[in-house]
Amino acid sequence: MPARVVVVGASIGGLTAAETLRQEGFGGEILLLGDEPHLPYTRPPLSKQILLGDWEPDQAAIRTAAELDDLGIVVRTGCAAHGLDVEARVLHTAQGAIPFDELVIATGTEPRSHPLLPWAPTLRTMDDAQRLRDRMRAARRIAVIGSGILGSEIASAARKHGAETLLIGRSGALGFGGVGTLLSDELSRLHEDNDVELALRADIASAVPLPSGAAELTLGTAVRRVDLAVVMIGGMPRTGWLASSGLSVDDGIACDSSGTAAPGVSAVGDVAAWADPVSGRHVRVEHQSNAIEQAVAVAVRIARGENGTQPVPLFWSEIHGARIHAYGWFDPATPLVERTTDPEARGAIFASRDETGGARGVVGWNASPRDFRAARAEVLAATPALTPQP
């Protein structure tokens, strides 16, 4: 049993790993490090309730300082990780070197910047969300650059604030997390039905910031003036500090199917690329539910010395009032097939199937909880249990 577990990243994944260690009877030292000044908070509300002004920041908090102290979890805020010596099991941070027996990395992602709009706001932290909320309230015309799930959520929030909204992308399609662009047609119709203007094959030729905070964007030959331009063109795993660690970090930290990246080092959440136990591909899933399940699995392995079941990616969003859930793994080359559901139930179920006809992933679009639970069961039944690692 390790004497000290250090968790890097004080978001839901890191906190869940720390709490689960205690629940599993781990009696050693747990140190939770975060680079922000805040105690752990949940991030999905940033692009939803916080951005809309429905929640105050303290409603997104997960645990109080007193609750963390009761669990015996030592939290260090403002403590960014700078480097890692895997062999010596030493973490280098802004507050000095920290030795560990087990390390759990949960540093998440950071937004990509647009080369022509380095000054445009983006969204990652609580402070970002509050600043963006205030600017959206005052804007009449908003451009969202980015055709992924967060771009769609920001466009939805802009419409709820009453702004004319332009959603700009380059690929010609809309993405939805691990489902990729398989839902693009459905998402496009949803945006159009809610008066979002789509420009999904648009190159931004120039972007000029104006003194008022507005911007002029040139799309092709057309110049569009907006009160606010928001950049949401995806995130990069926060692995720069691991460049000399020897870990494989091409697109996130490469882990086996139990979350192990190296002896004594595990990774969970957006920064982690766990091996799909069926295809062997390393896959990153950027959603809170996945971070929680991976964190639980890693903590159980550390505390008990045994592996559990491979967590199945689960992610969801609410866009213009439509609740969309996805569960499982999706091949971008395999179209989704709509399944027949109860004619009296709202919504639909879509499935991604493998070559044998088995469900590898399912999507519920305003589906009833009963229908989506039944669809999830098909995926779960096909998920293999993990074998212990040597």
* 104 within a domain of the structure (yes/no): yes
Going by the DSSP 8-state scheme, the letter that residue 336 receives in this structure is: -
pLDDT tens digits along 73-101? 999 999 999 999 999 999 999 999 999 99
Say if residue 30 is in the same domain as residue 97: yes
Higher pLDDT, 312 or 227: 227
Say if residue 69 is in the same domain as residue 12: yes
Say if residue 56 is in the same domain as residue 103: yes
* 317 within a domain of the structure (yes/no): no
**Averaged pLDDT for residues 51-69:** 92
pLDDT-based confidence at residue 251 (cuts at 50, 70, 90): very high
Residue closest to 77 by CA, chosen among 61, 59, 56? 61
Distance CA 148, CA 5 (A): 35
Distance CA 127, CA 105 (A): 23
* 387 within a domain of the structure (yes/no): no
pLDDT tens digits along 168-206? 999 999 999 889 999 999 999 999 999 999 999 999 999
Distance CA 338, CA 219 (A): 36
* 321 within a domain of the structure (yes/no): no
Overall domain count for the chain: 3
Contact assessment for residue 290 and residue 272, using Cβ atoms and an 8 Å cutoff: no
Say if residue 124 is in the same domain as residue 101: no
Q: What pLDDT score does 109 carry?
A: 94
**Averaged pLDDT for residues 57-78:** 94
Q: What pLDDT score does 388 carry?
A: 35
Q: What are phi and psi of 295, to 5 degrees?
A: -65, -40
Give the domain range for residue 376.
331-381
Q: What pLDDT score does 118 carry?
A: 94
Reply yes or no on whether the pLDDT at 342 is more than 70.
no
Select the highest-mean-pLDDT range: 98-102, 309-313, 336-340, 359-363.
98-102
User: What tokens were used for 304?
Assistant: 């008990």
Residues paired with residue 142 on neighbouring β-strands, in sequence order = 165, 228
Higher pLDDT, 287 or 369: 369
Say if residue 22 is in the same domain as residue 62: yes
Say if residue 345 is in the same domain as residue 248: no
Q: What are phi and psi of 254, to 5 degrees?
A: -70, 125
Going by the DSSP 8-state scheme, the letter that residue 385 receives in this structure is: B
Distance CA 11, CA 121 (A): 21
Pick the last residue of a domain from 304, 321, 341: 304
Say if residue 76 is in the same domain as residue 146: no
Say if residue 225 is in the same domain as residue 290: no
pLDDT-based confidence at residue 163 (cuts at 50, 70, 90): very high
Distance between first and last Cα of the chain = 16
**Averaged pLDDT for residues 154-166:** 96
**Averaged pLDDT for residues 355-368:** 88
Reply yes or no on whether the pLDDT at 131 is more than 90.
yes
Q: What pLDDT score does 346 carry?
A: 64
DSSP 3-state of 284: strand
**Averaged pLDDT for residues 64-71:** 94
pLDDT-based confidence at residue 140 (cuts at 50, 70, 90): very high
**Averaged pLDDT for residues 301-316:** 83
Say if residue 106 is in the same domain as residue 246: yes
Percent of the chain with pLDDT over 90: 77
User: What tokens were used for 24?
Assistant: 């599993």
Q: How far is CA 103 from CA 7, 106, 195, 261, in A?
A: 6, 10, 47, 10
Say if residue 106 is in the same domain as residue 142: no
Going by the DSSP 8-state scheme, the letter that residue 220 receives in this structure is: T
Pick the last residue of a domain from 200, 233, 266: 233
Indicate which CATH number applies to the domain containing 269. Answer: 3.50.50.60
**Averaged pLDDT for residues 298-310:** 85
Contact assessment for residue 56 and residue 32, using Cβ atoms and an 8 Å cutoff: no
Higher pLDDT, 224 or 280: 224
Distance CA 286, CA 272 (A): 9
Residue closest to 72 by CA, chosen among 22, 139, 11, 118? 22
Amino acid (one-letter) located at 125: T
Reply yes or no on whether the pLDDT at 277 is more than 60.
yes
* 386 within a domain of the structure (yes/no): no
Say if residue 80 is in the same domain as residue 21: yes
Contact assessment for residue 76 and residue 31, using Cβ atoms and an 8 Å cutoff: yes
Say if residue 167 is in the same domain as residue 101: no
Least confident among 155-169, 212-226, 340-354: 340-354
* 171 within a domain of the structure (yes/no): yes
Contact assessment for residue 102 and residue 2, using Cβ atoms and an 8 Å cutoff: yes
* 294 within a domain of the structure (yes/no): yes
* 319 within a domain of the structure (yes/no): no
Reply yes or no on whether the pLDDT at 37 is more than 50.
yes
Q: What pLDDT score does 387 carry?
A: 38
Reply yes or no on whether the pLDDT at 355 is more than 80.
no
